[in-house]
Amino acid sequence: MLYSKASFDANQWNDWRFHMENLIRTKDQLAKWIEVTADEEGAIEAIADNYLWMITPYYASLMDKHNIHCPIRRQAIPHLDEMRNKSAGDIDPVGDTLNMKTRRVIHKYPNRVVMLVSDTCPVYCRHCTRKFHTTDVRGTYFKEGFDRSYDSDFAYIRSHPEIDDVLLTGGDPLFLSDGKLEHIIRTLREIPHISIIRIGTRYPVFLPQRITEEFCSMLSRYHPIWVSTHFNHPVEITDEAAAACDRLLRHGIPVQNQTVLLKSVNDDVEVMRSLVKALVGIRVRPYYLYHCDNVTGVSHFSTRPCWQRGSGLKERSPFVLNGTL
């Protein structure tokens, strides 16, 4: 009998630490949740020396147990195309390394910076824009451990009064403890010219139990805080995800969503319509939709633009962007 959410005690299931202690990292562990196909098994072996993979039990519980075309499986389980297309694309298509000012600060636009605070995620999206930084076994922009001093990162931001907006991302910032995150946020809040602090996280999608009351309460001490998350398919909008977003919203933290257009995941008008309606239903703003970046190992997710596919959309929608922050 394959595992499902019902296989677990509610106290276990609702405790995010249980999921982090039981991350799925092997084919045998995955086979407890779904019927792993020969292609998936082959891909897991083929990527082993190149790319990491890891899945929370919660996210595995959303997978179709028998259908390899499941949008959750496609986002989280390695695919042979990651290796077949390894010569295509760029390991840094959005120019992070060109605009890296310190170990963690990327300053690409005048008033805003990205601060990379992690290179780890609880699930490694196969389509990650920063695949080199997060998933590539030889990658990471940090070069050495990510827990080194933040002094030079904060000093750079302090010395640039034109910066008023900081996006904490990675990897996933919520991989850090609440205490470490609070230290980072408090230090930023003490810089007079910083107005907006945003957190980019896929925990509402991968492990919504991590969005605890205590975490939300901590964030609410440092307003204005915004959360940007990344739902790609309506299957991801579960009761747990809705409750996590509600906790953030009740603490005054606006939640907006960025969706990546992914071949055979959500490149379908009805899927996208359902996703947007479901997001609005849980009061998460569908903020933007962007094309998959031209990342090495990711090209199998690329879609042709909708205006070339006869989707019924005659013109390029301004809602569909290229690139990411």
Contact footprint for ligand SF4 (CB under 6 A): 121, 124-125, 128, 130, 134, 170-172, 202
CB of 38 to ligand SF4, least distance (A): 25
CB of 173 to ligand SF4, least distance (A): 10
Distance CA 97, CA 139 (A): 12
CB of 130 to ligand SF4, least distance (A): 6
Q: Which is nearer to ligand SF4, 112 or 160 (CB)?
A: 112
Q: Which is nearer to ligand SF4, 8 or 255 (CB)?
A: 255
Burial environment of residue 12 by CB neighbours within 10 A (0 to 12, 13 to 18, 19 or more): middle
User: What are φ and ψ of residue 36, in 5° steps?
Assistant: -75, 125
CB of 260 to ligand SF4, least distance (A): 8
Q: Which is nearer to ligand SF4, 56 or 85 (CB)?
A: 56
Q: Strand 112-116 vs strand 105-109: parallel, antiparallel, or unpaired?
A: antiparallel
Q: Which is nearer to ligand SF4, 8 or 59 (CB)?
A: 59
Report CA-CA distances (Å) from 109 to 34, 258, 288: 44, 19, 18
User: What are φ and ψ of residue 220, in 5° steps?
Assistant: -65, -10
CB of 266 to ligand SF4, least distance (A): 14
Give me the DSSP letters along 6-66: GGS-HHHHT-HHHHHHT-B-SHHHHTTTS---HHHHHHHHHHTTTB---B-HHHHTTS-SS
CB of 215 to ligand SF4, least distance (A): 17
Q: Which is nearer to ligand SF4, 106 or 125 (CB)?
A: 125
Give me the DSSP letters along 221-283: TT-SEEEEE---SGGG--HHHHHHHHHHHHTT--EEEEEEE-TTTT-SHHHHHHHHHHHHHTT
Distance CA 292, CA 112 (A): 22
Q: Which is nearer to ligand SF4, 24 or 128 (CB)?
A: 128
Torsion of CA 257, 296, 124, 202, to 10 degrees: -10
CB of 124 to ligand SF4, least distance (A): 5
Q: Which is nearer to ligand SF4, 8 or 124 (CB)?
A: 124
